[in-house]
């Protein structure tokens, strides 16, 4: 049975900060952020957006009434969830009016969560071929003002509808994966900001890629020249390039050029959003699919997923005929074009303006947030969500 991505959508908040200006404010040469890290703009989430609303807004843009009737499983991958017990999937299920006879859960393994969700969705559809699964990868990446990780923050969500006979991409069966208990990046339950050993995390990312790649070649007999492109989890856009470069000498110069050119295209959206953790790999895939207009049906795309802590996986997809007709290019172009730049001072103020953690109530002004779905406040420890389209 062919199972894969039937639809794919994205959402990011309407505000961003320019990395050149952030660099100046941090006394760093702008090229360090724009070339060394490879980021141009960083999404800034207002207090009226959280991982639930980002995901709901991403899914809202792609689902029709028939999808909502057929979805019987919502799997929400996140590492910036809002509750230790209730899953973010349940909130999204309600906000989007999905058929009540569905399962809704949350899964976590750092940035690997949405990949785990996809693999779970494949198993579910293999047993229930009529079903559609909504997979969400949604996060707000926070390291803190003036920290080493600050330039790799971001916010956004990717929503994917996984089904049999998908319209965009069939996910192939063979994949290779790896788990190792390491402390490269983590966020204890008492902290709203991540802790990270930056250099170690970079080394581990590359090492995980090399290990799953070697195993993938042994398992499948395929080589790098069988790939049109490889999309990477992108904590920042230079990271995947560092991993790709370690294997490029396995192929001819022509193939090296193809993979490097396609890598660059696959990083365009991420370069303008920042790290969105669970959604980052799929934002990179979206960037490639939407911006490289001459990708041929039948092309094999590699997907390298990495979630600190750490779990890595390499898997692949084959593009379907006429896949472009089923993308939401215009919606995403408008989303990027309608964003507003904030100054570094405004970004710092927004960063520090967080929801109360002492149990007090708060009512938020959602008029200034153009998103359809927003957090409107907190009452008696319960976040209040509004879908303005209702």
192 lies in the site for ligand HMG, by CB under 6 A:
no
The single residue among 24, 36, 105, 383 that binds ligand HMG, judged by CB under 6 A, is 36
Catalytic residue of the set 14, 93, 124, 233: 233
Burial 314-352 (b: 16+ CB within 10 A, else e): bbbbbbbeebbebbbeeebeebeeebeebebeebbebbe
Residue 305, interface with ligand HMG (CB under 6 A)? Answer: no
Catalytic residue among 111, 231, 313, 374: 111
Q: Does 308 bind ligand HMG (CB under 6 A)?
A: yes
Tell me which residue of 299, 22, 289, 292 sits closest to 158, measured CA to CA. Answer: 289
Residue span binding ligand HMG (CB under 6 A) among the ranges 85-93, 174-182, 197-205, 313-321? 197-205
**Is residue 202 near ligand HMG by the rule CB under 6 A?**
yes
By CB under 6 A, the count of residues binding ligand HMG is 30
Torsion of CA 236, 238, 241, 243, to 10 degrees: -70
Our finding on whether 79 is near ligand HMG (CB under 6 A) is yes
Question: Is 198 a residue that touches ligand HMG (CB under 6 A)?
Answer: yes
205 belongs to the binding site for ligand HMG (CB under 6 A): yes
Please say if 363 is a catalytic residue. Answer: no
204: helix, strand or coil: helix
Q: Which is nearer to ligand HMG, 111 or 374 (CB)?
A: 111
**Rounded Cα gap, residues 168 and 151, in angstroms:** 33
* Residues 95-110 as b or e (16 or more Cβ within 10 Å = b): bbebeeebebbbbbbb
Three-class secondary structure assignment of 224-281 = HHHCCEEEECCCCHHHHHHHHHCCHHHCCHHHHHHHHHHHHHHCHHHHCCECCHHHHH
- Exactly one of 9, 46, 81, 235 binds ligand HMG (CB under 6 A); that residue is 235
**Given 13, 45, 89, 149, the residue binding ligand HMG (CB under 6 A):** 149
Give the position of tokens 């396995």.
Answer: 250
Residue 208 interacts with ligand HMG (CB under 6 A): yes or no: no
Give the CB-nearest residue to ligand HMG: 36
Q: Cis omega (within 30 of 0) on the bond before 302?
A: no
| Alpha-carbon span 3 to 122, nearest angstrom | 6
CB 168 to ligand HMG: min, Å = 25
Instruction: State which of positions 106-135 bind ligand HMG (CB under 6 A).
Output: 110-111
- Identify the sign of the CA torsion 215, 219, 220, 222: positive
What is the closest distance, in whole angstroms, from the C-beta atom of residue 149 to ligand HMG in the complex?
4
CA distance 163 to 132: 5
Q: Which stretch binds ligand HMG (CB under 6 A): 245-253, 266-274, 306-314, 379-387?
A: 306-314
Shortest separation between residue 119's beta carbon and ligand HMG, angstroms: 17
* Residue 16 phi, psi dihedral angles, 5° rounding: -145, 160
Question: Has 79 been annotated as catalytic?
Answer: yes
Coil vs helix vs strand at 161: strand
Q: Give the C-alpha separation, 205 to 260, whole Å.
A: 19
Binding of ligand HMG at residue 275 (CB under 6 A)?
yes
93 is catalytic: no
Q: Specify the pairing of strand 15-18 against strand 340-341.
A: parallel
185 binds ligand HMG (CB under 6 A): yes
One of 102, 135, 162, 239 touching ligand HMG (CB under 6 A): 239
> Interacting stretch for ligand HMG, rule CB under 6 A, among 13-21, 52-60, 230-238, 264-272?
230-238
Catalytic positions are 79, 111, 233
List interacting residues with ligand HMG (CB under 6 A): 29, 31-32, 35-37, 79, 110-111, 148-149, 151-152, 184-185, 196, 198, 201-202, 205, 233, 235-236, 238-239, 275, 277, 306-308
């Amino acid at each position: 049975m062919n199972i894969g991505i039937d639809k794919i959508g994205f959402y990011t908040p309407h505000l961003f900060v320019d990395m050149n200006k952030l660099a100046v404010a941090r006394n760093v040469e702008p090229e360090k952020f724009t070339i060394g890290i490879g980021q141009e703009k960083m999404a800034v989430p207002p207090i009226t957006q959280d991982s639930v609303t980002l995901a709901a807004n991403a899914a809202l843009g792609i689902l029709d009434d028939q999808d909502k009737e057929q979805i019987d499983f919502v799997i929400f991958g996140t590492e910036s969830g809002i509750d230790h017990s209730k899953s973010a999937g349940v909130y999204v299920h309600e906000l989007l009016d999905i058929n009540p006879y569905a399962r809704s859960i949350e899964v976590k393994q750092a940035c690997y969560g949405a990949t785990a969700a996809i693999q779970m969705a494949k198993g579910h559809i293999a047993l229930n071929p009529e079903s559609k699964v909504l997979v969400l990868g949604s996060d707000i990446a926070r390291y803190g003002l003036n920290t080493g990780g600050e330039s790799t923050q971001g916010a956004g969500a990717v929503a994917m509808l996984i089904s049999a006979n998908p319209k965009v991409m069939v996910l192939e069966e063979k994949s290779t994966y790896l788990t190792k208990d390491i402390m490269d990046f983590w966020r204890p339950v008492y902290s709203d900001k991540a802790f990270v050993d930056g250099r170690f995390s970079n080394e581990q990312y590359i090492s995980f890629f090399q290990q799953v790649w070697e195993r993938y070649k042994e398992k499948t007999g395929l080589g790098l020249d069988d790939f049109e492109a490889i999309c990477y989890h992108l904590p920042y856009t230079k990271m995947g390039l560092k991993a790709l470069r370690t294997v490029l000498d396995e192929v001819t110069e022509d193939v090296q050029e193809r993979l490097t050119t396609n890598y660059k295209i696959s990083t365009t959206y991420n370069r303008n959003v920042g790290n969105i953790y669970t959604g980052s790999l799929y934002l990179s895939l979206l960037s490639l699919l939407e911006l490289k207009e001459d990708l041929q049906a039948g092309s094999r795309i590699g997907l390298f997923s990495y979630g600190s802590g750490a779990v890595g996986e390499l898997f692949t997809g084959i593009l379907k005929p006429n896949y472009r007709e089923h993308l939401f290019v215009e919606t995403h172009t408008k989303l990027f074009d309608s964003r507003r730049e904030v100054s570094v001072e405004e970004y710092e103020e927004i960063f520090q303006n967080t929801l109360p953690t002492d149990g007090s109530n708060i009512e938020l002004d959602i008029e200034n947030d153009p998103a359809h779905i927003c957090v409107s406040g907190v009452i008696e420890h319960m976040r209040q969500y509004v879908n303005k389209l209702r």
